[in-house]
Amino acid sequence: MVLYIIGLGLSDEKDITVKGLEAVKSCERVYLEAYTSILTVGKERLEVFYGKEVVIADREMVEQEADVILKDAATVNVAFLVVGDPFGATTHTDLVHRATELSIPVVPIHNASIMNAVGCCGLQLYNYGQTVSIVFFTETWKPDSFYDKIAMNSRIELHTLCLLDIKVKEQSIENLARGRKIYEPARYMSINTAVSQLLEIADARAAAEPDAVPAYTKYTIAVGLARVGCDDQKVVAGTLAELEKVDFGGPLHSLVLAGRMHFLEAEVVRAFAVDKESFDRHAQVSQH
């Protein structure tokens, strides 16, 4: 039969498409991927709306026990639900590849994701460069490869979407080493933490390469977005230094570093500004 990979959109159980809902109702088993992103409602709300039992598929199941998800998918319909769009994470591509190798037909059903919904802030989608991920720093691990990608985008005056880290069902190093199935509480990176880490890396790069043009500074205009697609969505623009002090509320958060803005983009983004005079001083705006 069919493995459906179904995008759920960004907010709650009602964001699924009509086509997606019809597919879910045809399925023998329904799995919900629950580690690359989250909805604002629990699986119980999905079960009531879909009329189907929903099994939570954590990272361990998807990456190490894909056979469980694909079992009998050659003879019955199976749904794999993904918050946002089905192909927003490489893990889902791997599941599709495994299914294809087993000659299981795969049908993706698309939906909105942060990759396109970010357009709500006023920065045009075709003016974005490479998307980067910001992960939680530790005392001994502070990956900074995102800096070089932001620098590349900045050089050609493009905006950068920063996807912020999510830690769901993660083990501590000690528990992992001892083989103990004990998991840390879920954590969702805030815009404030992301900005703090971005500025920490910018300072380190400036110290190491004092003559280099910085990819960004604390005065770079950025846009913080929280709970995009929800009723309490929040969008705030300002310098990185200003955004670091803003209370954006609960997850999920995303951050955009603005490149050179077309004047029409700047007019829309300015409406979200913490301080419009500060925005006017620091924004890079093209009149063409």
**Is 88 one of the annotated binding-site residues?**
yes
**Is 15 one of the annotated binding-site residues?**
no
**Is 85 one of the annotated binding-site residues?**
yes
**Is 145 one of the annotated binding-site residues?**
no
**Is 113 one of the annotated binding-site residues?**
yes
**Is 159 one of the annotated binding-site residues?**
no
Q: Calculate the CA 152 to chain-centre distance.
A: 21
**In 232-247, which positions are buried (b, 16+ CB within 10 angstroms) versus exposed (e)?**
eebbbbbbbbbbbebe
Question: Three-class SS string for the chain?
Answer: CCEEEEECECCCHHHCCHHHHHHHHCCCEEEEECCCCCCCCCHHHHHHHHCCCCEEECHHHHHHCHHHHHCCCCCCCEEEEECECCCCCHHHHHHHHHHHHCCCCEEEECCCCHHHHHHHHCCCHHHECCCEEECCCCCCCCCCHHHHHHHHHHHCCCEEEEEECEECCCCCHHHHHCCCCCCCCCEECCHHHHHHHHHHHHHHHHHHCCCCCCCCCCCCEEEEEECCCCCCCEEEEEEHHHHCCCCCCCCCEEEEECCCEEHHHHHHHHCCECCHHHHHHHCCEECC
**Is 247 one of the annotated binding-site residues?**
no
Q: Which parts are annotated binding residues for S-adenosyl-L-methionine?
A: 10, 85, 88, 113-114, 164, 228, 253
Which residues contribute to the annotated binding site? 10, 85, 88, 113-114, 164, 228, 253
